[in-house]
Chains A and B, each alone.
Chain A
Amino acid sequence: MALSVRDRFTPLAQDGHDGMVRNEVGQPSFTLTIDGKVVRAYENQTILSVAEENGIEIPNLCNDEKLEPTSACRMCLVHIEGYDRPLPSCNTPAQPGMVVRTQSDELFRIRRTNLEMMLSDHNAYCQPPCQVDCPTHIDIPGYLELIAKGSMKEAARLVKEVLPFPYILGLTCPAPCQKACRRALVDEEIAICRMHGHAAETCLLDPPVPFVKDPPTGKKVAIVGAGPAGLTCAYYLALKGHYCKIFDMQPQPGGMLRYGIPEYRLQKDMMDRELNHVWELGVDLQCNVKLGRDFTIDDLFAQGFDAVFLAIGAWTSNPLGTPGEDAEGVVNAIAFLGEKVEGKPVPVKEGAEVIVLGGGFTTFDCTRTSLRLGAKVHTAYRRSIKEMTATMEEIEDAEAEGTELLFYEQATRVITDEHNRVKGLEFIKNRLGEPDASGRRRPVPIPGSEHVIPCDTIIPAYGQKPDRSVLDEKSGVKWTKWGTIQTNPYNLMTDRPGVFAGGDAQMGARTIIECVAQGKLAARSIHAYLNGEDMNEVARRLELEERKPDLFDIVPYKPVEPKVKMPMLPYEERKRNFRIIEMGYLEEQAKREAARCLQCACPAAGQCDLQRYSIEHGLVDNRFHDGEPSDYHDYEVDLSHSFILRDPNKCINCTQCVRVCHDVIGPDCYGMFGKGFDTIVSTPFNVSLHDTDCVSCGACVQVCPTGSLMMAERKLTRYSFALDRCIFCGDCVEVCPHGALGETPNFELSFFNRFGPDVTLEKEDLALAPNYLVRQRLPRDKKETPMMSPLVRPLPPRSLRE
């Protein structure tokens, strides 16, 4: 029996033409109120089109002005006074005196739930969050796909476009990308970081060059500091054809990579192989010279350098800051790590009792180095494990290797013997108070909880600061109140033109990958400076590029595929030696792990209406993850067509393609199939689009609100137009979905229904016809309905560009 809603019938618009006036060309028009604004509308115009003409935006996903409305997406619902239920504005004709509200809490909720519903079965992945969260923005889906295919060198080349040291970072990066991996919604994140390490390891001795090196420009850049930021900057500037010379205070290049990272995490001989790629580009290096001691910035400009990049790092350890910090046995963390790398004697002896203070990466480097030296180590931190900035793997590894973790411990006093040698360290217990400016909860001491831990060495690893003594006021470079070099935040230029700064010296002690990202940005900025560009403009451009796009979650449906674990050196084999602990993937393992990537890179990202509305509606999560396979769809993509790529996984059943193909173009290639939840837009009998009557016009791609239909990349050809053969039939104007041929004066205006009785109207007719309106639904008689043959006529296979 009929299903319908009890709703009172609408008063008829035709009955009383109240308020109807004719405009200057004679079209009857009237006024109505939308969102409190009195607007003018024409007869048979829908509310949506009136609103759009008057700059009132109503979200919609299934409406297009050349198509009959279908009101399937339920996004354009509005309140109309006198109706209980919200009605879709795309289908409701405007009527004189109507009062419409397009925004309300109820409508917002319905629209947001609509979007959530669509996204809960949207088996596609928008933008890759990993790439956004990586400071250098590596094309992660791209290189993982290459690794899965076995093209290791090409993968390394792709990474080197933005990150010159994929091998080194593969071992040392804390991998912010992996925290954002969308694969974690299915099972576990992908070992993104270790993957580029593997790809680069296969070609360390035969490195790929990301771009063809530009011819020499004759410009000279001095780079102070051979750490990650300086080396990266030199690498990309050298590729741009500039001459670079690096000055470093240490005997060997690498900066913190060499002197801060212990051997068991990064083998220095392997590191040197990758650093060689920089020298191979013609970059010069001068070691054992220190800024401020051996030369100044003015000296560099006097030597003929056109620009200076300061990447001096942060080499001054924060002091212990308690009474007795000058006692013998209180060790500088950075000096300790550096001396160990250089093979010098270190203050930690076998059997010694060591307390390392802090919760960052340096803390655990000191802890684990001391453990390998045979000491008994306590690692003490003021707050809890949650607030530690080191990664959880690092903390777990240190504990497994034998350190004792102490939390809520604040050092108050060094206990010394009569020779001012460390005997122990007095602590007071903390509890966590209110969050401070950094968002971490501030530790508050508990009175009376003082206690002493005996030890003979104390390594405070509370973080580092740049050495301010290297730059005096004459240099023209200013410092910020946090003790870092002051620069423009986007183009990285200091107050002195031509002097740039980056890395730890500009940010404070941070991760290697952030320093590399700054080195890369600085190289671009310096290149622009050397080309004489306006630096404000450069800053604006870089700011736009670095701006974080809005992302949102969608439910991926993919079968579970376990993570390939990195083979690690067993804990018992780590004692008393500095062997590398990550043993590296085998090629087959790497391919398998890389193939787990969901390839969450939709080419429609940025142009997708579903994405835009979801972001606008603040859709932060989806409540329908992790159901049964029958709760989601996993369709095959159809790539058989030469120009149009179909991915039904992204389809939201708006049927715009169905309607445009049937009503405007004519071949009728699409239709809705299936029933209930399994309804999907597809081709007749689900044949590939190639086998339909498709004329490759692309109108379906143009109307698709998501990335379900995409144009394949095509080589544009310039077609010649034979004026002597054209009969000005206007067919080309009519079918062109992009309006590319629309506005020439020789052609007639065409109407959307090419099968209707009045296909074309002369411009003059149009102006004279009072009842004609573009968006009018034309009554279509049965006889005049185009009869489409249901027969599928498969075409013979053809080559791509036949």
Chain B
Amino acid sequence: MPEFDSAYRVLRRRGEPDLRSLQSYRQQGGYSALERALHEQTPEQVIQLVSDARLRGRGGAGRLTGEKWRIVRRQQETPKYVICNAYDADPRSWAARSLLERNPHQVIEGILLAAYAVGATEAYLMTRSLFREGIEALQQALNEALEAGLVGRSILGTTFHCTINVFGFDIGFIGGEETVQIAVIKGRRGMPEQRPPYPAIYGLWDKPTAINSLETLANVPLIVREGPEVFRRLGSEATPGTKVLTVYDAVPDAEPRVIEVPFGATLREILRHAGIRRPDSELRAVVVGGAEGGALPVSLLDLPFDFDPLEEAGAIVGSGVIELLPAQTCMVAWAMERTRYLSNESCGKCVPCRIGVKRMTGVLEGIVSDLGVRSDLDLLDELAGYVPDGSLCGFGIHAPNAYKTARRYWPEHFQMHIEEQQCPTGTCLPVRSHRFVTKHVLP
């Protein structure tokens, strides 16, 4: 059993000392990392520290943050930008709002360190406009930091300048995509851009831009303050450090539980730490990764929570949401709901995601309505390969995850709906009266 209690590095639990005011944050050692970096270290040294800590992006992609910063640093073009992604694409993830609300200064310090490391003087914090409390706490913290000379011109009396713009917007799921945020800052419709070229080379206003999630940035002050060795003490070998998760129990309208756990802890341990103790027989699946995540059977509850093991099993770290599905869940219906939700959240730019996911939804709806035929599964498998291969951004790449894991772990649910025209759990109601058919009139 890993040490869960010492794993709270960025997230403040209720009952712990309040860090929202500048005074209390500084008492806990806040901004000492910034001071040290500005006064004692070169930007390259800061990047080296982050690289040594092997800090991986918490936004879901798991890239090495140090590598990304090094590329931005190396670019000749100026100005450079830092964007802090505090958007939380998945509305069921509470990570960003909790961090902003309870620990805003640590995020600000992380942004400043990132700006110092890559050589940026302008930073953006992109968040959902509906995170009222989080934005208020953040603005208050920014004002305090500004008055204390921690943000703005000549930070801590050095020649380092950095302004932080807070940008609240709400355009649905796709707003969490990094290039969408660049488009939104530019005043364009929120649609992703093709990578490569990566934002690290060709980002905001076509300049080098470091985009990191707020959780990644919140970890940076700790690395600079305590050193990479201390940081690496928690977590797994491949992914040191911790992850903020939002856990939902297997009951309708379950309250989200926001926890921070070290990477490498098993799903079972994580659930227990979140206070959920259910016998395996009450559960159908554990969904890891949020709306774009995959469902894993109960037999995989001892899987460690880490990038590679999860991806091998078909799920993703994604938005850090872990949900439990009760035993009476029909996985075909679940996959249909997920795919339908995502088909409405696509930005509509590229063809595979806009139409491919919609067509997958249509075929799945047919199966749920007991109109399916065997060839529907071949069609779905084909589309589940085509959509990720053809899609422009990560949204499309992960959109078929729900179908793929449901089909991989619960093939009998599909069989039963198609062969016996019956729901395996007796819970499905028909949702459509026509299935797709192949037709052609021309000889």
- Asked if B438 lies at the interface with its beta carbon under 8 angstroms from chain A, I say yes
- Asked if B429 lies at the interface with its beta carbon under 8 angstroms from chain A, I say no
Which of A91, A92, A620, A628 contacts B433 (CB under 8 A)?
A628
The residues of B that contact A671 with a CB separation of less than 8 Å are 189
The residues of A that contact B149 with a CB separation of less than 8 Å are none
Tell me whether A5 and B348 are in contact in the complex, defined as CB-CB below 8 angstroms, given that A553-B440, A781-B205 are known contacts: no
Tell me whether A120 and B359 are in contact in the complex, defined as CB-CB below 8 angstroms, given that A3-B177, A3-B394, A628-B434 are known contacts: yes
Q: B415: shortest Cβ distance to chain A, in Å? A: 21
- Asked if B196 lies at the interface with its beta carbon under 8 angstroms from chain A, I say yes
The residues of B that contact A7 with a CB separation of less than 8 Å are 195-196
- Asked if A109 lies at the interface with its beta carbon under 8 angstroms from chain B, I say yes
Which of B71, B359, B389, B393 contacts A9 (CB under 8 A)?
B71
The residues of A that contact B206 with a CB separation of less than 8 Å are 777, 779-780
Q: How many interface residues does B have (CB within 8 Å)?
A: 89
Cross-chain contact A72 with B389 (CB below 8 angstroms): no
- Asked if A218 lies at the interface with its beta carbon under 8 angstroms from chain B, I say no
Question: For window 442-493 of chain A, which residues contact chain B by CB distance below 8 Å?
Answer: none
Contact with B along A67-83 (1 / 0, CB 8 A): 00111111001000000
- Asked if A623 lies at the interface with its beta carbon under 8 angstroms from chain B, I say yes
Question: For window 248-290 of chain A, which residues contact chain B by CB distance below 8 Å?
Answer: none
The residues of A that contact B58 with a CB separation of less than 8 Å are 1
- Asked if B95 lies at the interface with its beta carbon under 8 angstroms from chain A, I say yes
Q: Determine, out of B7-15, B41-49, B81-89, B297-305, the stretch whose residues face the partner at the interface.
A: B81-89
Question: For window 365-394 of chain B, which residues contact chain A by CB distance below 8 Å?
Answer: 379, 382-383, 386, 389-394
Tell me whether A3 and B60 are in contact in the complex, defined as CB-CB below 8 angstroms, given that A109-B386, A184-B441 are known contacts: yes
Cross-chain contact B197 with A93 (CB below 8 angstroms): yes
**Once bound together, how far apart are the Cα atoms of A109 and B390, in whole Å?**
10
The residues of A that contact B434 with a CB separation of less than 8 Å are 626-628
Q: B224: shortest Cβ distance to chain A, in Å? A: 22
Tell me whether A14 and B442 are in contact in the complex, defined as CB-CB below 8 angstroms, given that A3-B176, A675-B345 are known contacts: no
Q: A755: shortest Cβ distance to chain B, in Å? A: 14
Q: Determine, out of A110-118, A165-173, A380-388, A690-698, the stretch whose residues face the partner at the interface.
A: A110-118
The residues of A that contact B71 with a CB separation of less than 8 Å are 9, 12
Which of A71, A109, A627 contacts B362 (CB under 8 A)?
A627
Cross-chain contact A4 with B60 (CB below 8 angstroms): yes
- Asked if A301 lies at the interface with its beta carbon under 8 angstroms from chain B, I say no
**Nearest B residue to A5, CB-CB:** B394
- Asked if A577 lies at the interface with its beta carbon under 8 angstroms from chain B, I say no
Contact with B along A648-683 (1 / 0, CB 8 A): 000011000000000000000001101111111000
The residues of B that contact A110 with a CB separation of less than 8 Å are 352, 386, 389-390
Which of A2, A87, A109 contacts B61 (CB under 8 A)?
A2
- Asked if B63 lies at the interface with its beta carbon under 8 angstroms from chain A, I say yes
The residues of B that contact A2 with a CB separation of less than 8 Å are 57, 59-61, 85, 89, 176-178, 211, 213
The residues of B that contact A4 with a CB separation of less than 8 Å are 59-61, 63, 177-178, 195, 393-394
**Once bound together, how far apart are the Cα atoms of A91 and B202, in whole Å?**
12
Cross-chain contact B442 with A551 (CB below 8 angstroms): yes
Question: For window 90-110 of chain A, which residues contact chain B by CB distance below 8 Å?
Answer: 91-93, 106, 109-110
The residues of B that contact A717 with a CB separation of less than 8 Å are none
The residues of B that contact A620 with a CB separation of less than 8 Å are 440, 442
Contact with A along B120-158 (1 / 0, CB 8 A): 000000000000000000000000000000000000000
**Nearest B residue to A653, CB-CB:** B348
- Asked if B318 lies at the interface with its beta carbon under 8 angstroms from chain A, I say yes
Question: For window 542-557 of chain A, which residues contact chain B by CB distance below 8 Å?
Answer: 551-553
Cross-chain contact A552 with B196 (CB below 8 angstroms): no
Which of B93, B359, B391 contacts A624 (CB under 8 A)?
B359
Contact with A along B242-280 (1 / 0, CB 8 A): 000000000000000000000000000000000000000
Q: B260: shortest Cβ distance to chain A, in Å? A: 15
**Nearest A residue to B192, CB-CB:** A3
The residues of B that contact A181 with a CB separation of less than 8 Å are 441
**Once bound together, how far apart are the Cα atoms of A620 and B439, in whole Å?**
9
The residues of B that contact A109 with a CB separation of less than 8 Å are 386
Which of A1, A14, A71 contacts B60 (CB under 8 A)?
A1
Which of B196, B205, B349 contacts A72 (CB under 8 A)?
B349
- Asked if B96 lies at the interface with its beta carbon under 8 angstroms from chain A, I say yes
- Asked if B227 lies at the interface with its beta carbon under 8 angstroms from chain A, I say no
Cross-chain contact B440 with A653 (CB below 8 angstroms): no
Cross-chain contact A1 with B89 (CB below 8 angstroms): yes
Contact with A along B400-443 (1 / 0, CB 8 A): 00000000000000000000000000000000111111111111
The residues of A that contact B177 with a CB separation of less than 8 Å are 2-4
The residues of A that contact B108 with a CB separation of less than 8 Å are none
The residues of B that contact A88 with a CB separation of less than 8 Å are 194, 392
**Once bound together, how far apart are the Cα atoms of A748 and B390, in whole Å?**
42
- Asked if A86 lies at the interface with its beta carbon under 8 angstroms from chain B, I say yes
Question: For window 192-247 of chain B, which residues contact chain A by CB distance below 8 Å?
Answer: 193-198, 200-201, 205-207, 211, 213, 215
Cross-chain contact B356 with A1 (CB below 8 angstroms): no
- Asked if B284 lies at the interface with its beta carbon under 8 angstroms from chain A, I say no
**Nearest B residue to A117, CB-CB:** B355
Which of B213, B348, B435, B442 contacts A180 (CB under 8 A)?
B442
- Asked if A502 lies at the interface with its beta carbon under 8 angstroms from chain B, I say no
- Asked if B76 lies at the interface with its beta carbon under 8 angstroms from chain A, I say yes
The residues of B that contact A780 with a CB separation of less than 8 Å are 205-206
The residues of B that contact A74 with a CB separation of less than 8 Å are 350-352, 390-392
Cross-chain contact B354 with A653 (CB below 8 angstroms): yes
Q: A73: shortest Cβ distance to chain B, in Å? A: 6
- Asked if B90 lies at the interface with its beta carbon under 8 angstroms from chain A, I say yes
Q: B436: shortest Cβ distance to chain A, in Å? A: 5
Cross-chain contact A6 with B62 (CB below 8 angstroms): yes
| 14 additional contacts (CB under 8 A) given A109-B386, A110-B352, A110-B386 | A1-B96, A1-B319, A3-B89, A10-B198, A87-B196, A91-B194, A553-B440, A623-B436, A626-B434, A626-B435, A628-B433, A672-B191, A675-B348, A677-B348
Q: Name the 5 nearest CB pairs between A and B, nearest first.
A: A679-B348, A2-B59, A3-B394, A621-B440, A117-B355
5 example contacts (A-B, Cβ-Cβ < 8 A) are as follows A72-B351, A74-B392, A129-B442, A626-B434, A675-B348
